[in-house]
Structures are given as structure tokens and as C-alpha cells.
């Protein structure tokens, strides 16, 4: 064993022969080094999906050819190209780090050159489906009360699913000058890693006020516990029964489309939707907050109960 180890060191130092690393080892290192990412759970899931296909292979043998069986099997399961690309992008990231950053004890990278991993064309991508007022009323009316409240809050704030599920009372900030409050979600729980300012229009504020005192920590709960997901069996059952092909994330799209239809400027829409904009989102004056609240209130349902711009858009999609 000593002789073998000496020979390995000699091969590496004299001839530049690399130790053979398998993909599973590199994937494990990637997860260990990126536990701080908000999407680390998804990364782990994609690597778990890839493991039966390439986990046992040396890094040199991971390329589009060895990934093709994974792509074929995912397509047979009905997965969209976008979903498959998410897994391929993680594999590409691991290979790039192996070739450019990670080094062994001899100073050699794990991989000499990273192969080209091509993303699949997004020809089968599902288009956003913003809800009409009629569809929203039908859908929310049939949902269980706790889900209906969460969805009503989501479609009036543009929050992501987990931002709603994990919303805590400690994040609420009173704004006495405007007789209202806002929520500031910490960056570690936000996809773009920026603090998420949640503006409450009159509908969202009424939802929050109706839940005060129900739980000491979480805003939205079910039987005394936090809710882990909106996209559960109840949501899927009601959506199917009503014939509405909307996903949970389409509630965020609905909010964005309604803001646009109401003539809200792009920069204001970006703030309300929680998109990255480079600003310090925790620093706003009362007049600025008043402007944001006024913009958010412009998407509340009016007397007509519909938004013509969205109706026209749906006709074109159909």
C-alpha cells in the first residue's frame, strides 16, 4: 500500500496524472459547500435523480452521452425540458467546479477539462396562466378556509409559495404614519437572497388582520401547525374539479399581470413582486411606502369583477 501511494504521488507530481474522482464524490462536496443556498434542497433532489445514471462514473466519463439515458427516462415520465434542464445545470456546475476550482492534495484539479453540457430547448415550456376574477372566485370559494386565505394573500402580494407558508409575525413592521404594516422577509428565505418587502393592499391586510392571535409564530396555520405547501391534494382536487389549469405559482403571475394592466410602472412592479433590483429594500420612507400601497391597491377587484386586459390575454392563449 505504501508503494502504491508513493507511485500515485510520483505520477501526480512528475507526470500530472490525476486521481480518479467519481461524480458522486464531487456532488457530495458541492452539497457540503453550498448548504447556505436557499435552493439547496432542490439541488439535492436533482443530484439524487442523477445519481443512478452518473453517480458511479468517473468525472471524465460524465458528458451528454452518459446523461442521455437520464434525459430519455425523464421525458418518458412526462417531465418538461425546463425541469430536466434544472438537473443538467447542477451536473454542469459540479463538472465546472471540478475542472476550475477544486484541487487535490497535489494541486491538481479534479478534472482536466469540463465537457460541454447543453441545455434542452424550451419548446415545451408551459405558459403562465393568470387567473380571471371569475376563475379566482370559483377556485378560492371551493378551497379549504386555510388554503383560501393563503391563496388570497398570495394573489394580492405576489409572494412565492414558501414565503407565504413560512410567513412569521416577527417579520411584521408597523407603519403608524400610514396606519398599516408591512412584512420584511429575511434574505436567507428569499430566492434572490435579498430581503423581501411585502406590501399589504387592503385585501392582504384584511387577511392578515383576520388571523391575528391565531398562532404565536406563524401567520398561516392549519390545526395549530404551519402549512408546508399550498400545492397539496386539496388544491389539485379543486383545480381539477373547476377545470382551471392554474398552478400555485400562477397566483404570482396573476398579481404581476394585474399590476401591469393597472398601469403600475415597471420599477414599482419589481418591488411589489420581490424581484432583484439592486435597491436596499429595507429602507423606505413613509411616502414611498404609501406609493407602493396605492399601487398594490389598484389590483383589488372592482365593481365589475373583471380586468378586461386579462380577459383578452386569456382568449389569445386559448
DSSP code of residue 222: E
DSSP code of residue 218: B
Q: Class of the 133-317 domain?
A: mainly alpha
Q: Class of the 16-125 domain?
A: mainly alpha
Q: Do the Cβ atoms of 68 and 115 come closer than 8 Å? A: no
- Domains 16-125 and 133-317 fall in the same CATH topology: no
Answer whether 0.95 is exceeded by the pTM. no
Closest CA relative to residue 199, chosen from 163, 228, 229: 163
Cα(185)–Cα(166) distance, integer angstroms: 9
pLDDT in tens, the chain (318 residues): 888 777 666 666 665 667 889 999 999 999 999 988 878 888 999 999 999 999 999 999 999 999 999 999 999 998 889 899 999 999 999 999 999 999 887 788 888 899 999 999 987 667 888 999 999 999 999 999 999 999 999 999 999 999 999 999 999 999 888 888 999 988 777 776 778 889 999 999 999 999 998 999 999 999 989 898 999 999 999 999 999 988 999 999 999 999 999 999 998 999 898 886 655 455 677 788 888 899 999 988 654 444 444 443 444 433
Cα(77)–Cα(58) distance, integer angstroms: 27
305 half-sphere exposure, CB direction, 13 A CA radius: 5
**Is 50 exposed, middle or buried (CB count within 10 Å of its CB: 0-12, 13-18, 19+)?**
buried
Please report, for the chain, how many H helices and E strands are present, in that order. 14, 5
Residue identified by cell 491538481 is 108
Phi/psi at 281 (5° precision)? -70, -10
Q: Do the Cβ atoms of 125 and 82 come closer than 8 Å? A: yes
Q: How far is CA 75 from CA 71, 116, 204, in A?
A: 6, 21, 40
Amino acid at each position: 500500500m505504501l508503494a502504491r501511494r508513493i507511485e500515485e504521488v510520483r505520477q501526480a507530481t512528475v507526470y500530472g496524472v490525476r486521481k480518479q474522482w467519481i461524480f458522486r464524490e464531487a456532488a457530495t462536496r458541492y452539497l457540503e459547500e453550498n448548504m447556505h443556498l436557499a435552493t439547496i434542497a432542490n439541488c439535492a433532489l436533482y443530484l439524487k435523480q442523477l445519481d443512478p445514471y452518473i453517480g458511479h462514473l468517473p468525472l471524465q466519463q460524465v458528458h451528454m452521452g452518459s446523461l442521455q439515458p437520464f434525459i430519455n427516462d425523464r421525458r418518458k415520465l412526462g417531465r418538461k425540458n425546463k425541469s430536466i434542464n434544472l438537473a443538467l445545470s447542477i451536473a454542469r456546475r459540479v463538472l465546472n467546479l471540478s475542472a476550475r476550482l477544486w484541487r487535490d492534495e497535489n494541486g491538481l484539479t479534479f478534472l482536466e477539462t469540463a465537457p460541454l453540457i447543453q441545455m434542452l430547448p424550451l419548446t415545451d415550456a408551459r405558459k403562465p396562466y393568470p387567473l380571471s376574477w371569475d376563475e379566482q372566485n370559483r377556485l378560492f370559494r371551493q378551497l379549504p378556509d386555510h388554503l383560501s386565505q393563503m391563496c388570497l394573500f398570495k394573489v394580492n402580494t405576489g409572494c412565492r409559495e414558501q414565503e407565504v407558508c413560512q410567513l412569521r409575525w416577527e417579520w411584521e413592521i408597523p407603519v403608524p404614519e400610514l396606519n398599516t404594516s408591512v412584512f420584511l422577509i429575511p434574505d436567507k428565505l428569499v430566492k434572490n437572497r435579498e430581503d423581501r418587502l411585502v406590501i399589504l393592499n387592503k385585501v392582504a391586510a384584511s387577511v392578515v388582520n383576520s388571523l391575528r392571535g391565531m398562532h404565536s409564530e406563524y401567520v398561516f396555520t392549519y390545526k395549530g401547525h404551519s402549512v408546508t405547501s399550498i400545492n397539496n391534494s386539496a388544491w389539485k382536487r379543486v383545480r381539477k374539479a373547476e377545470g382551471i389549469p392554474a398552478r400555485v405559482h400562477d397566483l404570482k403571475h396573476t398579481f404581476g399581470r394585474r399590476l401591469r394592466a393597472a398601469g403600475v410602472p415597471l420599477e414599482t412592479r419589481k418591488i411589489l413582486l420581490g424581484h432583484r433590483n439592486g435597491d436596499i429594500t429595507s429602507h423606505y420612507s413613509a411616502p414611498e411606502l404609501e406609493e407602493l400601497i396605492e399601487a398594490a391597491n389598484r389590483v383589488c377587484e372592482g365593481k365589475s369583477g373583471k380586468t378586461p386586459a386579462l380577459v383578452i390575454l386569456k382568449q389569445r392563449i386559448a
